[in-house]
Amino acid sequence: MSDTQPAPSVFGVADVSVRFGGLVALDAVSFAVGHGKVHGVIGPNGAGKTTLFNVCCGFVRPDAGTVLRHGRPVSPRPDELAGMGIARTLQGVGLFRGLSVVENVMVGADRHRKAGFGSTLLALPRSDRDERALRERAMAALAELGADGYAARLPGSLPYPVQKRVALARALASEPDLLLLDEPASGLGHDEMTELGALIRSLTARMSVVLVEHHMDLVMSVCDKITVLDFGKVVADGTPDEVRDDPAVIDAYLGEEATHA
Amino acid sequence: MAAPTKDTEVGVPPAAAGRFAAFTRRMPSSTLGKHALTLLVAFVVVVLVLELTGPFRNSQFATMAYYGIAAAGLTVLTGVNGQISLGHGALMAVGAYTTGLMLAAEIPLLVTMLGAMAVTAAVGAVVGVAAARLHGPYLAGATLALAVGLPGLAIYFDHWLGGEQGMRIPSPQMPAWFSDAIYFLSATEASSAKYLAYIGWVTLLVVLFLLANLMAGRTGRVWRAVRDDEVAAELAGIPLGKVRVLAFVVSAACAGIAGAVLGIVVRLAAPSGFTIVLSLGLLTAVVVGGLGSLVGALLGSALLVFLPPFVTNVGTDIGLDNTQAAQLAPFVYGAVLVLVMLLAPSGAVGVLKKLLKKLWIGRSTRRTG
Ligand SMILES: Nc1ncnc2c1ncn2[C@@H]1O[C@H](COP(=O)(O)OP(=O)(O)O)[C@@H](O)[C@H]1O
Ligand SMILES: [Mg+2]
């Protein structure tokens, strides 16, 4: 059908399997994200979405299969991701509670630092310059999310939706070209979710996004492609329209929603 | 996402904020400038205090200096980076014994202190590598083993280290320029207690200056980030192991310098001087002062030095005999610790900050209102 060569994906996994004891959490799962695309991963609770993210980030080593970055197999440690241009937000917020909002985001920007231990120890002008540069990066990321007014506050004193914005700003401050979002809409109201959707779309000018999410509306409106997991298996893979009408998906996911309703 | 919401909850009223801004404009804007100015002011205060007090107080201040150096290093490790150590007394022992050996070989004092720092930092690196993999009670247990085990080496190698009796440490000669400077300052003869107090406090101030630089910059921020959430720190590209080992090395270097100062002040390094009681005392000082704060470490070590004799004096004044009065001190010390933990979990520094904030606001509202 298609005789054009597909563009090499920015990121993906191929035939990844993970077993926890007797439980098969992921069974030969593959997906690939195109450049500047938003890829959704959905599925009922316990389907293996977070496990899949943990494989992508090196927190869980797969029993079989590979993680692919620009078509090449990689197995990075979690602390090497940022250097590879990959940022991830955590389910929940995961902010540093003893650091102010701007300091939180400065940690996110840490891979752009230039000054070393020696210049910090002696407070050389080089260290001050570096700190100013990191702070500017952090403030720019906060401003993009409309959270720069909270820069000096501690995260614990802020409403939950604002904390989630700060966590997103921290991920953006590293200037990744791939962003992994684990349930970014949890705990958000309807309007905030609409804004989040618009934001994610606007990010595609700079980066590709993988989105694990529970809210079908958001996923359907934001993603270019969607992978549906059920009991660790890919049951559907395609555009939102293709996935929406897939009987297997209605069985696995929408069926569950119906029983929850 | 949402429209920018400006911070409406301002802690300080506008008048005070304005005055504060005017004040900070006159301060140097660079970290180096600010910290160097603070260092200078602190040095002037130290000179005044040491010149206005006698040899007995001078020697108490020398003691406070080495507790302060060790406590400052410990607060970086425990308060800032979240790693507990019950073994800092043992690290001080490494510094003190190294000092004894080097001074006996007639190596100059400054080189000796740097040597003690380097050797202890190296031991700290080894301990730190092990510690980086341990958490909570396991880390406490491992460092406790260090506190209990390491001084035993002095008994095992008693030929070099003096065994149970300990190793005498030669007192450094007071240079002529020092007694000249003291005579010029206060027209008094420089005592050896005063010389040791100056060595201790100049060292303490330099250590505090360097640690304050670290804490104000990238290093301190990353230490705190790893303490608060290791997964999030890792995802930001922070190598957890390296960051934790660095904190341990910096902290151990401080303990080594503290041990060097202790060595020349006490003139003896003996296993009985570095028991678990010393390690626990340091930890207590850091908690009472305010975990993670350098000023807190200083306040805590002041308490460590000045509270026990004060309580003993009060004890004899109210008619207790000497042994009873001496037994009172640890009791009061424990009570202070419990009270601080219950009433002021942020330590003495937390209480001070609140007081200062109240005073600041109180004064400015009275002016404007
Ligand atoms: N560390 C683990 N050890 C054992 N089982 C796990 C572990 N992590 C996840 N699981 C199991 O793997 C399955 C997939 O979980 P998860 O990836 O969290 O699903 P999801 O994020 O889609 O809700 C679940 O049955 C879960 O109980
Ligand atoms: Mg999950």
Query: Could you report the per-residue pLDDT of B288-299, keeping only the tens digit for each?
Result: 998 899 999 999
The reply to whether B27 touches chain A by the CB within 8 Å rule is no
In three-state secondary structure terms, B202 is helix
Q: Tell me whether residue B347 is in a domain.
A: no
In sign, the C-alpha dihedral spanning B221, B222, B223, B228 is: positive
Closest Cα partner for B308 from B296, B294, B284, B325? B325
In angstroms, the Cα distances linking A231 to A20, A24, A106 are: 13, 8, 39
| Structure-token pair, residue A42 | 């959905």
Q: B282 near B67, Cβ under 8 Å?
A: yes
Check if A47 has its Cβ closer than 6 Å to any atom of ligand 1.
Answer: yes
Give domain status of residue B134, yes or no.
yes
Q: CB atoms < 10 A from the CB of B330, how many?
A: 12
Which H or E run contains A172? helix A160-172
Strand partners, A69: A11, A72
Which residue in chain B has the smallest CA separation from A111? B237
Residue type, A70: H
| pTM of the complete model | 0.89
Rounded to a whole number of angstroms, the distance from the CA of B249 to the nearest CA of chain A is 13
Any idea which ligand is nearest the CA of A253? Answer: 1
Residue indicated by tokens 């989105």: A211
**pLDDT over 60 at B11, yes or no:** no
Residue B37 to residue B48: CA distance in whole angstroms: 17
Q: How far is CA B110 from the centre of its chain?
A: 20
Contact between A212 and A26 under an 8 Å Cβ cutoff? The reply is no
Which residues are registered as beta bridge partners of A103?
A: none
Which letter does DSSP use for residue B190 in this model? Answer: P
Rounded CA separation B252/B130 (Å): 14
For residue A4, tell me if it sits in a domain: no
Q: Is the dihedral of CA B324, B330, B335, B340 positive or negative?
A: positive
Q: Looking at chain B, which residue has its C-alpha nearest residue A112?
A: B237
With bands split at pLDDT 50, 70 and 90, how would you rate the model's confidence at B8?
very low
Atom 27, ligand 1: residue with shortest CA distance: A46
Overall average pLDDT of the A19-24 stretch: 93
Both tokens assigned to B105: 């070989």
Instruction: Spell out the alpha helix ranges (H) of chain B.
Output: 14-26, 31-52, 55-74, 88-104, 109-131, 136-156, 158-161, 176-186, 192-216, 218-228, 230-235, 240-266, 276-289, 294-317, 322-343, 347-368
Over 50: is that where the pLDDT of B39 sits? yes
| pLDDT tens-digit map of B91-143 | 999 999 999 999 999 999 999 999 999 999 999 999 999 888 888 788 888 88
Distance from CA of B222 to the nearest CA of A (A): 7
> Is B17 a member of any domain?
no
Burial of B361 (0-12, 13-18, 19+ CB in 10 A): middle
> Can you read off the two tokens belonging to residue B178?
């020092």
The CA distance from B203 to B78, in Å, is 22
B125 contact A CB<8A: no
In B75-108, which residue ranges form alpha helices assigned H by DSSP? 88-104
- Residue A82 in any domain: the answer is yes
Query: Which residue in B31, B225, B235 is closest to A88 by CB distance?
Result: B235
**C-alpha R_g of chain B:** 22
Q: Which residues of A173-196 are buried (b: 16+ CB within 10 A; e: fewer)?
A: bbbbebbbbbbbbeebeeebbebb
The string of DSSP letters for A132-169 reads HHHHHHHHHHHHHTT-GGGTTS-GGGS-HHHHHHHHHH
Sequence-separated (6 or more) residues with CB below 8 Å from residue B274: B89, B90, B92, B93, B96, B147, B150, B151
Residue B128 maps to a domain: yes
Residue with the smallest CA separation from ligand 1 atom 12 is A25
Confidence (pLDDT) at A180: 96
DSSP calls for B256-268: HHHHHHHHHHHSE
Domain harbouring B219, CATH code: 1.10.3470
Q: What is the mean pLDDT of chain B?
A: 88
Average pLDDT, rounded, for chain A: 91
The larger pLDDT score, comparing residue B109 to residue B13, is at: B109
Which tokens go with B333? 């010390």
Place of tokens 């101030």: B205
- B237, A117: Cβ pair inside 8 Å? no
pLDDT confidence band for B277 (50 / 70 / 90): confident
Asked if B7 and A153 count as a contact pair (C-beta separation under 8 A), the reply is yes
pLDDT per position as a tens digit, B311-368 = 888 888 888 887 888 778 777 777 887 888 788 878 888 888 888 888 776 655 544 4
* Main-chain phi, psi angles of A184, to 5 degrees: -70, -20
Asked, for residue B329, whether it belongs to a domain, the answer is no
The whole-number pLDDT of residue B19 equals 67
Distance CA B299, CA B67 (A): 10
In chain B, the number of structural domains is 1
Is residue B216 one of the residues assigned to a domain?
yes
Query: What's the residue count for chain B?
Result: 369
Domain count, chain A: 1
Q: Is the CB of A139 under 6 A from ligand 1?
A: no
Range of the domain at B93: 32-274
Inspect the interface and report whether the beta carbons of B30 and A125 lie closer than 8 Å: yes
Q: Does B5 touch chain A (CB under 8 A)?
A: yes
Q: What percent of chain B has pLDDT over 70?
A: 91
Q: Which of A62, A74, A36, A8 is nearest to A225 (CA)?
A: A36
B28 CB near a chain A CB, below 8 Å? Answer: no
Pairwise CA distance, residues B9 & B15, whole Å:
15
In a domain, A55, yes or no: yes
- Is beta strand A86-89 parallel, antiparallel or unpaired with respect to A178-182? parallel
Write out the two tokens for A233. 């298996």
Inspect the interface and report whether the beta carbons of B3 and A131 lie closer than 8 Å.
no
Which CATH number goes with the domain that contains A231? Answer: 3.40.50.300
Residue A139 lies in a domain: yes
Residue B238 contacts A where some CB pair is shorter than 8 Å: yes
Predicted local distance difference test score (pLDDT) of residue B52: 93
A171 inside domain: yes
Q: How far apart are CA B95 and CA B99, in angstroms?
A: 6
Question: Has residue A2 been placed in a domain?
Answer: no
Closest residue by Cα to residue B205 from B257, B245, B267, B262: B257
The pairs formed by B56-61 with CB atoms below 8 angstroms and a separation of 24 or more are B56/B193, B58/B191, B58/B193, B58/B194, B58/B196, B58/B197, B59/B193, B59/B196, B59/B197, B59/B265, B60/B305, B60/B306, B60/B309, B61/B197, B61/B200, B61/B201
Residue A48 backbone class (left: φ over 0; alpha: ψ -120 to 50; beta: rest): left
Distance, in Å, from the CA atom of A7 to the CA atom of A177, rounded to the nearest integer, reads 16
- Rounded CA-CA distance A190/B349 in Å is 44
Which domain, by its residues, includes A22? 11-260
Write out pLDDT tens, residues B191-243: 899 999 999 999 999 999 999 999 999 999 999 999 999 999 999 999 999 99
Least confident of A42-51, A79-88, B263-272, B335-344: B335-344
Instruction: Provide mean pLDDT across the span A41-55.
Output: 92
Mean pLDDT of A86-114: 95
Q: How big is chain A by its Cα radius of gyration, in Å?
A: 19
